[in-house]
Amino acid sequence: FNHGRIEQLAPPRELYDRPGTSFVARFVGSSNVFEGAFAARLSGQAQPFAVRAEHITALAAGAALPDAHVDCTGTLLDVQFHGATSRWQVQVEGMVIAAEPRGVAAPEPGATIRLAWRRAAMVPLAMESPR
């Protein structure tokens, strides 16, 4: 529910993997939500989309972008240790992106980071309507 209105009715796995709106994407598992000009630049469409942190990896400097991937560059703000994983907070074009790169040593905060994810991990979201 969002302000008394049902946002999406679906089984838990679908809510997590395929949220329909930015509210559901942020509420169920804290997904990264890309909107506006930044979303359009990355996807080629003006429609917002979500990407889960576990689908985002860090690319080494100078590494080729894998086929069917999208990338962006930002500044590492913080690394949060979560036992088997770490969550990186990266400032990119006015938003903070959460990423969970696996098998990659975290550089020091302030470092420039190149993030990438598969296009298939980008979940299109419904355009928000005014309340």
* Distance between CA atoms of residues 3 and 63, nearest Å: 45
Read off the pLDDT of residues 104-127 as tens digits, 9 standing for 90 and up. Answer: 888 999 999 999 999 999 999 997
Nearest to 125 by CA among 4, 12, 15: 15
Q: What is the pTM of this model?
A: 0.88
Question: Mean pLDDT over residues 55-77, rounded?
Answer: 94
Q: Is residue 60 within 8 Å of 116, Cβ to Cβ?
A: no
Read off the pLDDT of residues 38-54 as tens digits, 9 standing for 90 and up. Answer: 999 999 998 999 999 99
Question: Mean pLDDT over residues 26-31, rounded?
Answer: 86
Is the predicted pLDDT of residue 130 greater than 80, yes or no? Answer: no
User: How many CB atoms are located within 10 Å of the residue 70 CB?
Assistant: 20
Q: How large a percentage of the chain has pLDDT more than 90?
A: 68
Looking at residue 129, what is its pLDDT?
Answer: 55
* Distance between CA atoms of residues 73 and 129, nearest Å: 30
